[in-house]
Structure formats: structure tokens, C-alpha cells
Amino acid sequence: MQLWFGGDLNENYEKWFTTGEAQKVLDLFIAEKYTELLKKAEAESLAHWKNHPESYVALIVLLDQFSRHIYRNSNREQIKVNDEVALRYSKEFISRNWHKSVSLAKHVFVLMPFRHCAHDVDNNLKYVLQQLEEREKMTTDDVRLLDRFKKMTQRKLYDAPLRKKVDQNTEILEFYPFDADESDILQNKLVRTMHDFLQDRYEPEHKYTIISLSGGVDSMCILKCLLLLAPKFKYKVIAIHIDYANRPESGLEATYVEEWCKKFDVIFRKRVISEVTRGITDRELYEKESRRIRFEFYRSVLNEFQTDSGICLGHHKGDEQENIITNIMKGRESILNLSGMSPESIIEGVKVWRPCMPHPKSVIYDFSHKYGIPYFLDTTPVWSNRGKVRNHLQPLLGDIFGFGYLNNLSALGEDSKELSELLTATVFKPVWETIKRTEVGVWFNIKDHRTKPKLFWKETMRYIFYSMGVSTVRDKSMGHFMKRMGEGFAKEGVWVSLKLENPALFFEDSLIIFRSSFFPSTSYFTNKSTIEVSPTDPQTVVTFGPWTVTLTPVPVSEFHQNELSIWDVLSGSVSYYIRNSTAYQIDSNSKPKPFRAIPKNMTLFMPIVINSTWNVEDEKCIKVTLNYSANELQEELRRLEKREQEKQMCKPIKKYKGIKDNKVERKKETKEEKQEQPDEEILMDFN
């Protein structure tokens, strides 16, 4: 009772109506201190508490309120069970007329179980309003709590018809819609940020703006902002909902957001993912396939409406901070890209927008609660890494260091991006621009870079392997690489293990990295296989996977034993001469004179043509040309072009101006307002 009712009204409000990080801290505190007591209440071992009004209130609060803090992310079924018991106790408490002898705050919390009960919702809510009206007539207490509780109850009653369309027995909403005073909504910081984000990207031909609508507070508030700004920018709003079908209520959530979109004339498109299921499908495969399906559906909607508009996602400053924690712990991202996200980027060919990145989630919650924007319960699995970070690690870090650590994380992410921009322009890019690429591999001169630190090589390898479409080098292999480079290399070349599928070679002051397709796990040809050549054909062409072998009869005067080099092979095309013969065959184990300077482990994968017999007196010889093309170079160039596009897109969100009657006008900020707006710092990403 002291914890819940012991402070003044303002102090108690911070406990009663928490959100975000403060809620996580309170959850952790209550769970650690009161879980055992709640277990006793569930076992009805605290029945004697019902003998006195004050202790009876404590029992109801324990079952109705503390139960939510303890089980919020782990056992919602037990919350429902406790709700039923708490409702029964509340009815008994009021039947004894004890509600008239306790404080207003305690009376309000005795009525809370009527609001939480999942059945007979309308009658329960009407009963609460009746109780509040009676209390209002007799109270001399501060009525702010009473007014707030009455409004919350009216909101929930207002939304009851929409909830019935979804399911009368299932609560999927954390917060319910209500008719709000929107006279100042266009001046709200979230709307102004959204306005400037769209203004910066406005193109008259954009007839649609798209939101990926999950039903969470972030996407629902973005949808509201898009609808408010639609008259100014003259677009129709399209909502895309992905139903992952992992939870029983996911179909109900899809129905709710569809009904919500109909209410506001929003075009709605839905995709149910039935191909894979979380917990059944292999985790890595599930993540890969569900992501592929999601972005494939995004592309199909973009094609349907013939638009290249960005798709708005609900990421905010808190998501960026979570990313930084996760990336540091996992070492998944470079120190030069800790946040791993930017206001605008291209993912799998889809332009995505993150307009809320300047703001913490508290700004989004405030917008929802002030203007009656509903949102679903948070369904992040408590067992997932993200769930553990949100519900355990971040509250603990806040408890140890204070929640100012979040601003420190954001500053670290910002420093990471600025350092990335600086080093890319002055250190990395001048080197990366010297990299040469062919269908066979990539290479560059490393003579002046051998003593550079590990960070330089990690970023360079990340850049090279990203362009090749594969993951970067592991730390262990990187250590081996650094050691071999420090030892120097012989003139004929030293092979080094960077990635098993991408052999690398030190050769003539250069580092050569071969494409995996050049060293296939299964050979493209069969050794000792013969090639039939017709005497009447001017040319014979055969193919072996990406290899094209061309045999061309030429005058014997052209015959010479040219020596080929590694650079010839890297070019993707080599030619050499053999004597005219009655039979030709593929023999990669053979090393004719032209190939003697080529390492054996390269020629083993080349369809080298030899002749079985020949006639020295013949007037003709054969020019053999081996061309290699796996069509990977164009794909690599496309990836590099996309990377440059993404870097160009990572620009700041302009400082918002005021908006009134859909017209932009400057708003003078007072000194106090500037101090109250730390969340408007601009986040940038230089990948």
C-alpha cells in the first residue's frame, strides 16, 4: 500500500501511468519484490486480507495491478485469471459499502478490475462510470484522478463496437481510441517532423504514400500523421499489413487494422505468411524467408500502384539505441556503423523511410494518448533477444547508470556515423577506387597498405565482400591474414585463407580475391572428355558452365608458345595455340607450356584443351580461347551503385517548422521550448 499510494498525486501518477523505460524499471522492481506475495494471493493464502478495507484494497491491487507488472511479457493468461478473481473481490468490496470509506485513489483502483475484465465489457464500463458519478458528488479530494479515470473509461466504452467486430472475448488493444481535441495537432512535434520529412522528399508525381502498418503505437501514429498531411501533399495513403500468423490473435489484429483503415478511407493491402512459422521452421530459414516474403509483397504493392514512394516504417530513436546495444554485444556491425539504420535507405530494392528516428518512443506514446490513437499490445516475445534487451537489460542499465545512458548511446551512434564519413572520404575511398574487378575476381595493390591497422583491413574486406554479395571475413581469418601479410610473400605468390569459398592470393604486391564460382565445389567439366571438331566448320564452340571454349583453325604461321600469366586469367579470357589434331580433349591436370606460370590449383578448374596427336607438317594449327563469365560482375556493379545511392539518401531530417491550416509558417521557439526538445537531434547514417 505504501508503494502504490504512499506519495503525492504527481509521484503516484509516475507509478500508475508509466510507459517506455520507466515501465520496464517498475516491472523489474515489482517482479523482484512481490512475485512470491502474488503467488500466495493466487493460491488464496491471503484470504484474511479481506477482513479489513485497507488490506482488501491491497489484495485487489496485488491481483489486478501488480499481476500486470509481473506477467506483462511472460504470462498473459495468468493476468486474465487474476482479473476474474480481482473482479469478484471488487464486487464483494463494493457490496460491503467499503468503497465509501476509503480514499478516492483507492476507490478508483477497486474499480480497475471492471475495466480489465474481458467479458460483459459494456455493462462493466457503464457501472464504473456510474460509480464515478456518485463518488464525484460526495468527494472533497483532488478530482484530477477521478477525471482522468472517467475519460479513460469513456474512451474504452466508445471503442467497444469496434472491438466487438474483432472479437468480444479477446483484448488485442493496449490503448483504445477516443474523440480528442485536435485543435493543436498540426503543431505537435511528431506531425511537424513528419511534415519536414515529406517536404524534403516531396515530388509532385507521388500520388501515394505508403505505411507498413503493424498496429503498434509507432505505425498507428505515423498513419495519423500521414492522413493529417495528405491534403497538403495531395497523396492517397496506402497501408500494408503483414500477418505473420504466429499467434492466435494475429488474424484479429489484421481485421482490426483493416477496419481502422476503412474508417479513414485508407487503401489496405494484406499479406498472410503461411509458408513458414516461427518456432516450427528453422530459425535462420524463418527469418530469411519471412523477410523475403515481406519485401516481395512491398514490391508488388509498389508495382500495383506504379509508384516509387518510400514505405514508412515505425523505427524511432529507441530502436536505434537497441540496435547499438545489440551490435556492440554481437560485433555484428562495424564500429563505423553501430546503429545500422538511417532515415532513408534501400532494402532489397525497396525504398524505406524512417521518419520517427529523431524522437524517443515517449513522444510517440504522448501523441497517441493525447489524440486517441489506438495500438495493440506489445507482442515482442519475452524469450527473444530483443525481448530480453527491452525487458531485462535496458531496465537494469537504467537502474545502474540512470536513463541518461540512452542519450549516450545515441551520441555514440552519431559519432560512429561521423567517423565513418570522415574515414571513408579520407582513408578508405581513395584505396577502394583502385580496386579492379572482372568476372574472375577482384584485386588491388597493397604495397603501401600492408602496415595499416586491422580496422582498415576489416572495413576494406567488408566493402569488397559486400560488393561480391557475400558475408565478410571472420575475425579469426582476419587475424591469420594480418599475420601472413606481415610475413611478406614470395614472388610466385602465397595463398591465404580469408573465406573458404573465396580463395585469396598475394601476387606481385597485389591482393587477389577470387569469386567462388571460379573455384566450384563440383567441376564444370569431366576430365579426359573429348571435343569433336568438324574439318568443315570454321569454328567449334562448347560450353562448360560459365566457361566457353572456342577452337579456331588458323594458319600454322601464327603458332607460338605464348606464356600466360595470372593477370591473363583474371581478365576472363585466355588464348593459346596447339597443333592441329584428329582428336582433342579436356585435361585440367595437364599444364601445357603456356600455363606453366599459372598456379596448379587454378588450372585444375580451367577446361584446358590439349591434342592427342598432331602432324607437324599440317598447314593449320588451332587457336584455343577460354572465356569465363558467370554474369557476376554486373551484379557487383549494381550493388556498389545501390550502396552509393543509400549513402546519398542518408541526409538529415530538416528542423521542423510550424504548420497551420496546411500551410507552412515559421514558429519562434522560446528558450524553454528549446530546452524541452532534446529528442529533435537529427540522426544520420553514413554506411
Spatial CB neighbours of 315, under 8 Å, sequence gap ≥ 6: 218, 341, 354, 356, 357
Q: What is the pLDDT of residue 673?
A: 36
Residue whose entry in the numeric block shows the C-alpha cell 514508412:
312
pTM, full prediction? 0.59
pLDDT digits (tens, 9 = 90+) for 351-367: 899 999 999 998 999 99
Pairing mode, strands 547-555 and 540-544:
antiparallel
Q: What is the pLDDT of residue 461?
A: 93
Residue 273, pLDDT > 70, answer: yes
Element containing residue 173 per DSSP (H, E): strand 173-175
Q: Are 194 and 355 in contact (CB under 8 A)?
A: yes
User: d(Cα 225, Cα 229) in Å, to the nearest integer?
Assistant: 6
* Of residues 353, 263, 356, the one with CA closest to residue 302: 353
Q: What is the pLDDT of residue 152?
A: 65
- Residue 520 grid coordinates: 566450384
- Strand arrangement of the beta sheet that strand 547-555 belongs to: 540-544, 547-555, 620-628, 573-579
Q: What is the pLDDT of residue 141?
A: 60
Residue 665, pLDDT > 50, answer: no
- Residue 419 grid coordinates: 567517423
pLDDT averaged over the chain? 83
Q: What is the pLDDT of residue 167?
A: 46
In sequence order, what are the beta bridge partners of 575? 625
User: d(Cα 63, Cα 186) in Å, to the nearest integer?
Assistant: 41
Q: What is the 3-state secondary structure (H, E, C) of 251-305?
A: HHHHHHHHHHHHHCCCEEEEEECCCCCECCECHHHHHHHHHHHHHHHHHHHHHHC
Q: What is the pLDDT of residue 681?
A: 28
Q: Are 353 and 312 in contact (CB under 8 A)?
A: yes
- Domain annotation for the chain: domains and CATH numbers: 1-119 (no CATH), 174-315+354-379 (3.40.50.620), 435-518 (3.30.465), 529-634 (no CATH)
Where does residue 30 rank: exposed (0-12), middle (13-18), buried (19+ CB within 10 A)? Answer: buried
Task: Give residue 290's pLDDT band: very low, low, confident or very high (50, 70, 90).
Answer: very high
Task: Out of 94-103, 189-198, 605-614, give the one with best mean pLDDT.
Answer: 189-198
Three-class DSSP category at 62 = helix
pLDDT digits (tens, 9 = 90+) for 153-199: 665 555 555 555 444 434 688 888 888 889 999 999 999 999 999 99
User: d(Cα 563, Cα 549) in Å, to the nearest integer?
Assistant: 19
In sequence order, what are the beta bridge partners of 238? 210, 267
pLDDT digits (tens, 9 = 90+) for 585-596: 999 888 889 999
Buried b (16+ CB within 10 A) or exposed e, 448-462: eeeeeeeeebbbbbb
Greatest CA separation for the chain: 123
